[in-house]
């Protein structure tokens, strides 16, 4: 039986943009199911050539539309994952927090703290 990954495992991804690199860090202990999915998608190049397609000023940016031709990878991306258990206390929507938007592959990055959402998660 393989060893389970360490809870404090982190993955760092550098994404090239026209304005320079954007460095993303994912923390497994915050969201093990989401972490495993996003790391696999990045490792398999699902997000290559993806772009920020949604910007909500003073709130978030979003990406995740893939241009891959790999049908198996597309199927993996369409496979729903369960929600991770909510942290106690919940992780606030602070500047720099990264999350899946829904249960699939779209990712958003908070560009400012947004306490209005924090209370609604309880």
Residues 81-99 have pLDDT tens digits of 888 888 888 888 899 999 8
| Domains of the chain by start residue, with CATH | 10-120 (2.40.100.10)
Instruction: Inform me whether the pLDDT recorded for 122 exceeds 50.
Output: no
Instruction: Inform me whether the pLDDT recorded for 109 exceeds 80.
Output: yes
- CB within 8 A of 2, min separation 6: which ones? none
Residue 97 has a CB neighbour count (10 Å cut-off) of 16
Q: How confident is the model over 11-60, as pLDDT tens digits?
A: 999 999 999 999 999 999 999 999 999 999 999 999 999 999 999 998 89
**Among candidate residues 8, 12, 88, the one with its CA nearest the CA of residue 43:** 12
The model's pTM is: 0.83
- 98 and 108 Cβ atoms separated by less than 8 Å: yes
């Amino acid at each position: 039986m393989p060893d389970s990954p360490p809870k404090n495992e982190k993955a760092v991804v550098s994404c090239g943009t026209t304005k320079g690199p954007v460095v993303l860090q994912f923390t497994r202990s915050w969201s093990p199911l989401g972490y495993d999915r996003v790391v696999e998608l990045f490792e398999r190049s699902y997000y290559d050539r993806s772009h920020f397609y949604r910007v909500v000023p003073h709130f978030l940016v979003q990406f995740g539309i893939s241009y891959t031709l790999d049908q198996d990878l597309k199927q993996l991306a369409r496979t729903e994952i369960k929600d991770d258990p909510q942290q106690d206390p919940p992780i606030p929507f602070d500047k720099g927090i990264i999350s899946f938007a829904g249960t699939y592959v779209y990712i958003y990055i908070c560009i400012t703290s947004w306490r209005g959402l924090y209370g609604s998660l309880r």
